[in-house]
Amino acid sequence: MKKYIKAILDKKDRLDGRTFDEFRKPITISNEVSNKAEGSARVKIGDTEVIAGIKVDVGTPYPDSQNRGNLITNVELLPVASSKFLPGPPGPQAVELSRIVDRGIRESGMLDFEKLCIREGELVYNIIVDIYPINDAGNLIDASAFAAVAALKNAVLPKLVDDKVQFGEFTKTKVPLKIIPITCTVYKIGEHLVVDLNKDEEEAIDARLSIAVSESGNVHAMQKGGIVGFSIDEVDKAIGMAKKCVEKLRKQLK
């Protein structure tokens, strides 16, 4: 399979006829996943489907960030999504995936953490992003990051009475956002750089580079995976591809 996929790429073609920098279609985003969540989103990229939900509670700030709220990002690879996922505590793949998503959000400055402070040193909002892949048909990284961002865009703060969250009662105040980062992963197969692999193409991955890009075109987080290296020129090319793809993805995010 791996040789076959590479041979097709050598002919500048892909299994499903897309170009190397083309995402699968359709890309859909909907927001009604759970009415118990402060925000939620379901993202489909081709057959890949991921849901993300935002829960908000309050707590004491960390000692080193007394005037800032907190972000907690978690991905659970449910056994529903793939024959390769097993029940149990998160393994390295789930941990890496949640940290890639977390860093895209955190490092870009997407959340206005200072506005998430209620009383300095005493009480802050904790924004908890939980991401569950429902169908792993390839490129879970970008779908997960996209779902997290879409859910945050949709999220509101809960009602507080006497510093306690009134669960199930929401305000109309949106979770304060400053920037919308979108992550695009560029995969390396042989000498080729390709985006948004489907499940079959993923069998042939040599390496990958996930790149989080903001509206300004600046890069806020990168993560390389896989055991083959990238040259500096390949990294530069990958960033160029990611910027182009992110621009298109951004249009889907209304």
The contact set with another protein (CB under 8 A) reads 63-64, 92, 95-96, 98-99, 103, 106-109, 209, 214, 216-232, 235-236, 239-240, 243
DSSP state of 115: G
Structural contact between residues 186 and 208, judged by C-beta atoms closer than 8 angstroms: yes
Query: Closer to another protein at the Cβ: 7 or 95?
Result: 95
CB of 126 to another protein, least distance (A): 16
CB of 39 to another protein, least distance (A): 23
> Which DSSP string corresponds to 10-44?
HTT--TTS--TT---S-EEEE--S-TTSSEEEEEE
Query: Closer to another protein at the Cβ: 7 or 72?
Result: 72
CB of 231 to another protein, least distance (A): 6
CB of 27 to another protein, least distance (A): 24
Q: Report which of 69, 237, 9, 251 is spatially closest to residue 146, judged by C-alpha positions.
A: 251
Which three-class secondary structure state does DSSP give residue 238?
helix
Query: Closer to another protein at the Cβ: 59 or 217?
Result: 217
Q: Report which of 132, 125, 150 is spatially closest to residue 82, judged by C-alpha positions.
A: 132
State the Cα angle at 92 between 88 and 97, rounded to 5°.
100
Output the furthest CA–CA distance in the chain (Å, rounded): 65
Structural contact between residues 208 and 185, judged by C-beta atoms closer than 8 angstroms: yes
Query: Closer to another protein at the Cβ: 29 or 100?
Result: 100
CB of 235 to another protein, least distance (A): 6
Query: Closer to another protein at the Cβ: 64 or 162?
Result: 64
CB of 60 to another protein, least distance (A): 16
Q: Which two tokens stand for residue 136?
A: 């792993």
Query: Closer to another protein at the Cβ: 115 or 224?
Result: 224
| CB atoms inside a 10 Å sphere around CB 47 | 12
